[in-house]
Amino acid sequence: MASNAPITPRETDYSQWYLDIIREAQLADYSPVKGSMVFRPHGFAIWEAMKGDLDRRFKETGHVNAYFPLFIPLSFLSKEAEHVEGFAKECAVVTHHRLRGCELENGKKGVEPDPAAKLEEPLIVRPTSETIIWHMYGQWIQSHRDLPILINQWANVVRWELKTRPFLRTAEFLWQEGHTAHATAEEAVEETLQMLNVYKDFARETLAIPVVTGVKSASERFAGAVDTYTIEAMMQNTWALQAGTSHFLGQNFAKAFDVTYQAEDGSLEHVWATSWGVSTRLVGAAIMTHSDDAGLVLPPAIAPIQVVVVPIFRKAHEKEVVLPFAQDVADQLRASGLRVKVDDREKMKPGAKYYEWERKGVPLRLEIGPRDVQGGSAFAARRTGGKKFPVPVANLVPEVQSVLTGIQEELLANALARRVENTYATDSYADFKERLTRDGGWYLVPWMDNAENEAAIKAETKATVRCYPLDAQENIGDKKCFYSGQPATHMALFARAY
């Protein structure tokens, strides 16, 4: 339950503010399983809204959903050398398939793994599904007529993390993973970029988060990919958050699992691959981007409740008038497709209700008292502030929709302004270091791709290469790397990141 405890202001402690928001808006809770969290209904509904929107975008671009096993045989992981290197250190391993009774140290009865039920080959709880999916693709693909395969999976995955933070980094998380198979490299690259753009549009249009798209440096690349593309979002503390990735996998997995197709000319070719994913981390991104010191703020597109209607009455005869009117307002809004709640709890004062829905991030509140009924209107208060204003019921649906659209646009504009304001261009490492330490922010710099220098900068400043922004690579010219002074290979975006 919400504790009704104070929310730490962002200025005081940004990390604690984030945790306070999650607790007070009842989005998630800690679980007794180290690293795993519980998605409470209000938090899960945000993910459901995101999922519905993304799923539509995937289907519009020709993808279908399927479902592959949770468990991956240990030997599969080893087939792609970089892949196993990347994931071996954080795998949950299933070794037994039965329990047996035992006596515990305290003398009570308990259970333990049954030694007689040890698996011949241990199973990994999927950290990602390339290996098992490419094993299956090997059985499904024979001819060029079987290509492309455009499959997405909604699933839970496990990556054993020691330092966790709700939504942003947890041992188990929910995500979608697209896995596609193509006849040519060109087609696979095109798919990789198409899905990057689907993510970018989704972030902008639905989450009201303006993201930078770019390609990752070698050291931040997905284990097994040729190229990893990313969308990077700026949080309110100016840290970056990797919000989604799209990988061009080349023929790495096709070769590891020996997946070939017969081309039209009869030759056998290895298949080309992509994979791409976003996760429940996006819920954290949305919270961190828009919320304020009073609680959660959500873009209307993903708010589980978009409008809360609060009927106000003291006496029975007022209730008789106000309640049906409020219900009717709610029904009209619902009929137009909006998610609406009527808060008709008795024994609770309107002010207490306002406070609760403010903390829970409902974008628009409609207050309805006896005088509003007489005047044929509702009194509207936006979560994001501004003067309260009456909405005539005669024009209810278009007016509410327009207010919600306005809030959605305002949140995007604010986030974009913040990013622009806090993104700096510099050629000087000294300048970068000084300003980063003082002001935070993102830094667009000329850079010579080099893993050792990357590590050195990270050690010194905690900043990493977030990406090589796609739209910033044109004018490198004869620029020199801001760190090494060598000829620059890329324009790089440096920032501290979650």
- 109 touches a second copy by CB under 8 A: yes
Stretch that binds a second copy, among 93-101, 225-233, 234-242, 477-485 (CB under 8 A): 93-101
Q: Is 37 in the site for a second copy (CB under 8 A)?
A: yes
61 binds a second copy (CB under 8 A): no
Longest Cα separation, the chain: 84
Per the CB < 8 A criterion, the answer to whether 280 and 173 are in contact is: yes
Taking the complex as a whole, the smallest distance from the CB of residue 89 to a second copy amounts, in Å, to 5
Residue 142 binds to a second copy (criterion: CB under 8 A): yes
Distance separating alpha carbons of residues 183 and 270, to the nearest angstrom = 8
Residue 74 lies near a second copy (rule: CB under 8 A): yes
- Inter-CA distances, 120 with 73, 77, 94, 97, 161, Å: 10, 16, 11, 11, 27
Nearest residue to 87 (alpha-carbon basis) of 101, 74, 102: 74
Q: Provide, rounded to whole angstroms, the least separation between the CB of residue 190 and a second copy.
A: 21
Contact, 171 vs 159, CB < 8 A?
yes
Among 98, 83, 170, 62, smallest CA distance to 129 is for: 83
List the one residue from 103, 112, 186, 434 that touches a second copy (CB under 8 A): 112
Residue 162 CB-half CA count within 13 A? 1
Closest Cα partner for 371 from 352, 398, 390, 358? 390
Q: Which of 9, 113, 390, 440 binds a second copy (CB under 8 A)?
A: 113
Is 262 a binding residue for a second copy by CB under 8 A? The answer is no
Distance CA 91, CA 84 (A): 10
**Site for a second copy (CB under 8 A): which residue of 15, 64, 388, 437?**
64
CB of 173 to a second copy, least distance (A): 10
> Using the rule CB under 8 A, is 294 a contact of a second copy?
no
**Distance set, CA 119 to CA 96, 112, 114, 116, 292 (Å):** 5, 15, 10, 9, 50
Q: Which of 10, 20, 23, 39 binds a second copy (CB under 8 A)?
A: 39
Size, binding site for a second copy by CB under 8 A: 68
Residue 191 tokens read as 């798919």
Rounded to 5°, angle at Cα 204 from 305 and 381: 35
The backbone torsions φ and ψ at residue 236, rounded to the nearest 5 degrees and listed phi first, read -65, -25
Q: How many angstroms separate the CA atoms of 307 and 262, rounded?
A: 56
Q: How far apart are CA 178 and CA 67, in angstroms?
A: 11
CB of 23 to a second copy, least distance (A): 12
> How far apart, in whole angstroms, are the C-alpha atoms of residue 439 and residue 418?
13
State the minimum distance, in angstroms, from the CB of residue 474 to a second copy.
40
Using CB under 8 A, pick the residue from 13, 15, 33, 417 that binds a second copy. 33
Calpha distance 133→138 (Å, rounded): 9
Q: What's the token pair of residue 17? A: 């503010």
* Neighbouring-strand partners of residue 364: 307, 382
Asked if 355 interacts with a second copy (CB under 8 A), we say no
| Shortest CB 278 distance to a second copy, Å | 16
Give the HSE-up count for residue 235: Cα atoms under 13 Å, Cβ half-sphere.
25
Residue 8 touching a second copy (CB under 8 A): no
Q: Which is nearer to a second copy, 200 or 281 (CB)?
A: 281
19 contributes a contact to a second copy by CB under 8 A: no
Q: Can residue 4 be called a binding residue for a second copy (CB under 8 A)? A: no
- In the set 8, 9, 19, 31, which binds a second copy (CB under 8 A)? 31
Q: How far is the CB of 163 from a second copy (least distance, A)?
A: 14
Among 8, 61, 92, 194, binds a second copy (CB under 8 A): 92
- Which residue's CB is nearer to a second copy, number 261 or number 483? 261
Q: Given the rule CB under 8 A, which of 73-81, 258-266, 363-371, 406-414 is the region that contacts a second copy?
A: 73-81
41 touches a second copy by CB under 8 A: yes
User: Which of 7, 21, 49, 132 touches a second copy (CB under 8 A)?
Assistant: 132
* Radius of gyration over every alpha carbon of the chain, rounded to an integer in angstroms: 26
Interface residue list for a second copy (CB under 8 A): 1, 29, 31-33, 36-41, 44-45, 47-48, 64-78, 84, 88-101, 109-113, 122-125, 132, 135-136, 139-140, 142, 146, 151, 155-156, 158, 160, 172, 174
